[in-house]
Structure 1
Amino acid sequence: MSILDNFIFAAFLCVVGGIATACQGAVNATFGRFAGQGLSSTIVFCVGAFVSCIYFLIEVKGQPDPNLPSMMGEAPWWSWFGGPLGAIFVIINILSIPKLGAGTTTAIIVSIQLMMGCIIDNFQIMGVQKQRDYTLWRGLATVGLMLSTGVIAKF
């Protein structure tokens, strides 16, 4: 069993990811003030691509699977849109945080992410294999999250 199969470790990674995502928006918005919004987004993705390449080489221990090109060719057409979606996320953060602040921007984004995540789980779209119903309790939690977002935005 891999450590990545451990529920607690996976949850810990999500906590780290949440902290990183909240910090990323503020960091990128600040860099955008100095480098310009478009250039800062470009630099962020170049540095991110470099870090991702290092992770890839560690993951495959320097020896990528020889069948990798054919395996990638079997991926659904829409699965190639992660990069543009990431760029949209970064650009929206760079544009929104100076106007709304990091807390409000993050609250809105996280709320919508959670709602969309529940919809994706419910309908098993975009390749998600674990189906989880968008139950009444999940719906109520979503309403609570939207109300919380409103409070964060207002105060």
Structure 2
Amino acid sequence: MLLALVLGLVAGGVIPLQTSINSRLSGRLGAILPASLVSFTVGTLALAAAVLVTGTAVPWAATAASQPWWIWVGGLCGLVFLTLNIVLLPRIGASATVVLPLVGQVFGGLLIDGTGAFGAGVHPLTWVRALGAALVVGGAVLVNLAGRPAGTQPQPGHARSHVVLWVVAVLAGSLGAIQTTVNGRLGQSMGSALAAAMVSFLVGAVGLAVICVVTRQRVRRSGEFKPWHFTGGLLGAMFVLVNAYNAPMIGTSLAVSITLLGQVVTGLLFDHGGWMGVPRRPVTPLRIVGAALVVLGVALVRFG
């Protein structure tokens, strides 16, 4: 349990770094989807190398014969989540695009745990766990929205006129919980979280390649590439691998909540220090309260 919690914190903590790296790569390529394809491809190759070095078996045929069709959709969930974020960002604003998927992730995890969907173990939904999930979401909202410059806040009238898109953003976040659960089940079926992570990345890379071809994405190189521009895929591979390991160990809701905690804490550090070129936003008392609410909410989800 302790190992799973530590790994989840670290995996969540790499997300702000991965986002910054992929953003820089996108700027160099002049397009978002090709940058994501590069990231997925790098992650796939790294995981495939790890599979070869460790001699890990990847029983494709046996898994296909014994498991339901949805066992392969983890990578597609990640792909759809990415695509929806690209669509939503210019329409509902950056803050809403960050916060609303968090709601979907946490409550999607609780729903999966409560129903045992996608082969997950059933973890009853108690009022304490529901309160914990609400605190996680509320804390994440404070951390992400408190202290933002007025120009970065979505305009109220604009938000009200796009209620459907807000619902889509929440549903997009729930795909993260589905991805975690499905990859955990795939890891159990294949006998290896590493094999499951590689398969998930491969599915995502193939899906992105198809989309790039269909939409005729063009690359417009701008600036020089540096080796670290291509490390986002490695961090993403780490995130998927840890979640594939954690989901069957500690449950989807806790796995999602603990990675969210790591994301919130590291995000605060990035904001405060202005690391990787992100706009500087000081850590205010209100944002610290938000982080504390996330910690309390994770504890309630786990022990409720």
Amino acid at match of 1:23: L
Do structure 1's residue 70 and structure 2's residue 58 form an aligned pair?
Answer: no
- Tell me the equivalent position of 1:9: 3
- For residues 78 and 138 of structure 2, the distance between their equivalents in structure 1, rounded to whole angstroms, comes to 27
Identity %: 23
> Aligned-pair distance for 1:69?
1.8
Cα shift at 1:25: 2.5
Q: Residue 126 of structure 1 aligns to a residue in which SS?
A: helix
Rounded Cα–Cα distance in structure 1 between residues aligned with 2:117 and 2:34: 34
* Residue in structure 1 matching 2:37, options 42, 57, 63: 42
Structure 1 pair 139/16, CA: closer, same or farther in 2 (3 Å)? same
Distance 1:95 1:51, change over 3 A: farther
One-letter code aligned to 2:43: G
**1:100 corresponds to:** 94
TM score, norm. by length of structure 1: 0.74
What corresponds to 2:124 in structure 1? 133
Q: Which one has more relative contact order, counting CA pairs under 8 Å at least 6 apart?
A: 2
Q: TM-score, normalised by structure 2?
A: 0.41
Are 1:113 and 2:105 an aligned pair? yes
Distance in 1 (alpha carbons) for counterparts of 2:22 and 2:82: 7
CA distance in 1, matches of 2:129, 2:36: 34
Tell me the amino acid that sits aligned with residue 62 of structure 1: G
Gaps of at least 5 residues in structure 1 are 1-6
Residue type matched to 2:18 in 1? Q
Deviates more, 1:75-84 or 1:17-26: 17-26
1:90-137 deviation digits (Å, cap 9, x = unpaired): 445666779527xx72x54344212111111000001112x1112111
CA contact (8 A) 2:102 2:137 kept: no
Contact 2:102 2:140 in 1 (8 A): no
Contact 1:25 1:93 in 2 (8 A): no
Gaps of 5+ in 2: 148-304
* RMSD across aligned positions (CA): 2.8
Corresponding pairs, count: 143
